Structure 1
Amino acid sequence: MRLLIIEDSADLVRMLRRVFEGAGLALDHAGTAEDGMLMLDVGHYAAVILDIGLPDRDGREVARAMRMRDDPTPVLLLTARGSVADRVSGFDAGGDDYLVKPFAPEELVARVQALLRRSGMVAHREIVCGNIVFDPASRDVRIAGVVTVLSARELSVLEALIHRHDRVVAKSQLEAQLFGMGDELGSNALEVYVHRLRRRLAEAAASAQIVTVRGVGYMLVASA
């Protein structure tokens, strides 16, 4: 299960990634509100951990924008400000829980797991394009009825494309998805992973293909 943390402290994120991975939860990272919104546009996340004090925008604006577009993803707000007024404003913006820094990592994990349990009643519909079937909850991929194992980055690209199949996904959005996974990537990393994913889809006899929209991005379309 994959989470998104929107937090500008890289040191905190590195520490939290180890803790969450130990609990069986993968953590994608955005360092700014803008990058976080791009990743939310193209990825499906079980929950969002959102710092209020981001360098480019108040995190509550991100939560508010999510709710305005009817995004039900659970949001846990992080902040150094813990007054009653601050908490109320966070909940009013669309936050589901609120944790004041500094905090014990174990408490953050426990709170996120509680949010996941509460939201577990919501069924996630499978997404289909051609004979490719993607399960957002488990992140399993089936092609022609056969489970297909992809690398983490190949899966990240496919997830972004299949969520918006038949529509163009901008290169900047896909790059935000890839760069949010932690390691440094080269300037042509996106092209490399798109090429690898195309090859994997062809090998599995997928009846959908990745189309390049020159100068804009990529789209996943069912074969005619």
Structure 2
Amino acid sequence: MRLLLVEDEPEMAAALTSALQRHDAIVDHVPTLDIAKTAVRDGAHDVILLDRQLPDGDGIDLIRHLRAHNSQVPVIVITARGSLPERIGGLDHGADDYITKPFAIDELLARIRAVLRRPAERRPLHVRVGELAFDLDGREASVAGTVIDLPRRELLVLEALIRRHGRTVLRSAIEEAVYNYDDAIQSNSLDSHISRLRKKLSEAGAGVEIHGIRGVGYLLRPIA
């Protein structure tokens, strides 16, 4: 799960980023509306967490920008502006949820899961390829009911591949799913994750293979 956090308070942004990363989220943080509008162009984020009081305007302007460009990415407003008229206004302008500060991280995580489960998203919650089952909601891989123990980044690589199983996934798309903006990516990091993931899937009897397309990306498919 990749999140865009639009928050100008450094301490709040650092605390939220740390808490969300502990729950296996990839978090990209930007402090202004202007930078956020650039960040949303590639549509790489599953959910946007949006403060309203930003240095260059009201966060609601980002929602207007998204909807004007036909982007339906879920937006959860996180703000100290919690009066009833402000909450109603935020929702009426296209926010999918509205949560006032302070809040518990568990509540925020529950709200993120809720917006991702909405029918409009039309996302399957479980994917099966070969003998491998992947729970997209619980973010868990298993074979015949036995969970495969994977480190966070290997799990994110597998999620990126299984969401597009049977199709080639570009290296850049996998890296976007695994690393945030601030991560220093070594040239062979992704290949190392793929190598370890292949071994673990084989040992688990997953019945799938990760096929590399030189210079392009990777493809997850059932073993013939």
1:76 partner letter: I
1:24-63 pair list within 5 angstroms: 25-31=23-29, 33-34=39-40, 37-40=43-46, 48-50=48-50, 59-60=62-63, 61-62=65-66
Q: For structure 2, which runs of at least 5 residues remain unmatched after alignment?
A: 30-35
1:30 partner letter: D
> How many Å apart are 1:92 and its aligned residue?
5.3
> How many Å apart are 1:200 and its aligned residue?
1.1
Task: Answer whether contact 2:6 2:48 (CA < 8 A) is retained.
Answer: no
* Alignment partners' CA distance in 2, 1:120 and 1:173: 20
From the superposition, tell whether residues 121 and 130 of structure 1 become closer, same or farther in structure 2 (CA, over 3 Å).
closer
2:103 matched residue in structure 1 = 107
Task: Answer whether contact 1:78 1:98 (CA < 8 A) is retained.
Answer: yes
1:4 matched residue in structure 2 = 3
% identical equivalent positions: 31
> How many Å apart are 1:196 and its aligned residue?
1.3
From the superposition, tell whether residues 97 and 20 of structure 1 become closer, same or farther in structure 2 (CA, over 3 Å).
same
Task: Answer whether contact 2:48 2:76 (CA < 8 A) is retained.
Answer: yes
Task: Answer whether contact 2:2 2:45 (CA < 8 A) is retained.
Answer: no
* Alignment partners' CA distance in 1, 2:190 and 2:108: 31
> How many Å apart are 1:222 and its aligned residue?
0.8
1:208 partner letter: V
1:139-218 pair list within 5 angstroms: 139-180=139-180, 183-218=183-218
1:151 partner letter: P
From the superposition, tell whether residues 121 and 62 of structure 1 become closer, same or farther in structure 2 (CA, over 3 Å).
closer
Q: How many pairs does the alignment contain?
A: 203
Q: TM-score if structure 1 supplies the norm length?
A: 0.69
Two-structure CA RMSD over aligned residues (Å): 4.0
Moved more, 181-190 or 144-153: 181-190
Q: TM-score if structure 2 supplies the norm length?
A: 0.69
> How many Å apart are 1:79 and its aligned residue?
7.4
> How many Å apart are 1:167 and its aligned residue?
1.1
> How many Å apart are 1:65 and its aligned residue?
4.2
Deviations 1:141-164 (A, max 9, x none): 112442111010000000111111
1:7 partner letter: V
Deviations 1:85-127 (A, max 9, x none): 9984x5456312346xxx74x3374762563585597596311
From the superposition, tell whether residues 214 and 163 of structure 1 become closer, same or farther in structure 2 (CA, over 3 Å).
same
Q: For structure 1, which runs of at least 5 residues remain unmatched after alignment?
A: 41-46
* Alignment partners' CA distance in 1, 2:70 and 2:211: 30
